[in-house]
Structure 1
């Protein structure tokens, strides 16, 4: 029996007949006339190549084949009805769902500690999987359902996406506290003369000065505007190794301020303002329109907004 040839209404007829064992009462149960019920039963018998129900003195008796089908059909219809009604409500206290969130490794430093602490309290069985992907793949993973949320800066998530402002951030320069040439201030000449560590995520399109709003390319654009250059002595794909490198070298690095203020960075590092103006950027959370009305996704968005949003207008 080919499932693609079965009209769902026929399964409703079958289930009603199993419950009532009477054509008239079964029709009343699902809102069909007796002729319509009889016609549907004829179609069912032809599809199943079985009488399904035989008349006896007290009504309609299901055949062994009908009895075999009954449980699966009834459970399937009930599951479908629950899905359509939304009767299985999302309960964070009992849910064991896994949320997949797109963020950078610097985002992990800022967002994961408070997020996981909160989830442990209010949703102990919920798991989180972090995805780090090239920006070109963001659309793909959201449309396929492989990602629930993205947190960060993105100009690629536009059509088909919603977004919510969380907070504004800016850039600072970090180095070891006893840097031999830099004291309590950082001059433009010092910034240009020192050797730098750049966080260059895997799959980034960085090459010289490119039109992008990622951290390294924005800094390079600003330096180009001022007619300045810097030596990139080390490029790494992740932020997490940078503090260790800075402790044992004279290198300096430019990073978002929130990464330093929220991270458990070594005490022998210092943070100084950049010696030139760089505009702040806005951190947002993004989600696909397919998840906009999903109760679980809405709940997670609310948790993230409560933890990180500064509640200012865009």
Structure 2
């Protein structure tokens, strides 16, 4: 067994080890750490000498962890997180005096239904806080950006599942049905017969929607007149064509007022869809980050 002298071991090397594990590449690790490639290569050599193991084997597909590396990654990550929590415990966060950017990856639903209230609230309580929105990354990239801190949170219809991440339901998305006011519908619930007859303008999705799934279960289907890429286009088209559109109920009153549409309950009780809030637990000890999570939760209830 190789003995490691913890007192003389350079703990900075542990951060390099974790980054090499995550990226499986000296080049990508150097970019993420803002170090030169020779510096990262030198750190890897020191790690190998210090631990007495190759740790990573170079292959055409990138660096592959050894068994020793597999055994070390969990305890080392936990140790670094504990150090981070200990160093942050004495920090205070005063929203009114804070100067900080928060990076949030989210889609149209959040941007139209929660972000305006969030920005208004933060502008009053913490004017030095800037919210920066980014598209929701796909696949492993979401985990990587949360882990590195490049993203503070991801808000999406799907939870981001990976080691070290937490997910909670921010709120449930229910639907409202819109049509132009000149239709003269006085009923609160939209008539099913008109719903099936009139064309719909819908948002592009990768899978069948709850609307189409429920209609299919009843042996029915709706007529699609247009497919768009964001929610704002739907009421704009509905206002000009008389098409039907279904939007998250939180957006419906605003869209109706802007475009001269009437708001109705859908003809059937379509299931609501969760909107998930995802973050990395290693940032939870940061008072500013904890404050952000609480603001998001509060605005979701408005």
| TM-score, normalised via structure 1 length | 0.61
Pair 1:178 & 2:160 matched = no
Pair 1:107 & 2:99 matched = no
The answer for the alignment partner of 2:266 in structure 1 is 274
Larger-gyration structure (1/2): 1
The answer for the alignment partner of 1:291 in structure 2 is 283
Would you say the 8 A contact 2:253–2:263 is kept in 1? no
Q: Secondary structure at the match of 1:258?
A: coil
Q: Secondary structure at the match of 1:178?
A: helix
Would you say the 8 A contact 2:110–2:155 is kept in 1? yes
Would you say the 8 A contact 2:159–2:277 is kept in 1? no
Q: Secondary structure at the match of 2:201?
A: strand
Would you say the 8 A contact 2:136–2:154 is kept in 1? no
Distance 1:256 1:147, change over 3 A: same
1:151 CA drift (Å): 3.0
Would you say the 8 A contact 1:174–1:272 is kept in 2? yes
Structure 1 CA distance for aligned equivalents of residues 213 and 137 of structure 2: 21
Pair 1:303 & 2:290 matched = no
Would you say the 8 A contact 2:179–2:243 is kept in 1? yes
Would you say the 8 A contact 1:151–1:286 is kept in 2? yes
| TM-score, normalised via structure 2 length | 0.64
Aligned residues: 222
1:8 CA drift (Å): 6.5
Q: How does 1:253-272 map to 2 (within 5 A)?
A: 253-261=245-253, 265-266=257-258, 268-272=260-264
Structure 2 CA distance for aligned equivalents of residues 218 and 183 of structure 1: 26
Structure 1 CA distance for aligned equivalents of residues 138 and 255 of structure 2: 24
Q: Secondary structure at the match of 1:93?
A: coil
Distance 1:160 1:8, change over 3 A: closer
Q: CA RMSD, aligned part only?
A: 3.1
Structure 1 CA distance for aligned equivalents of residues 137 and 219 of structure 2: 30
Structure 1 CA distance for aligned equivalents of residues 295 and 218 of structure 2: 41
Would you say the 8 A contact 1:153–1:284 is kept in 2? yes
Show structure 1 runs of 5+ residues with no match.
Answer: 1-5, 10-79, 210-216
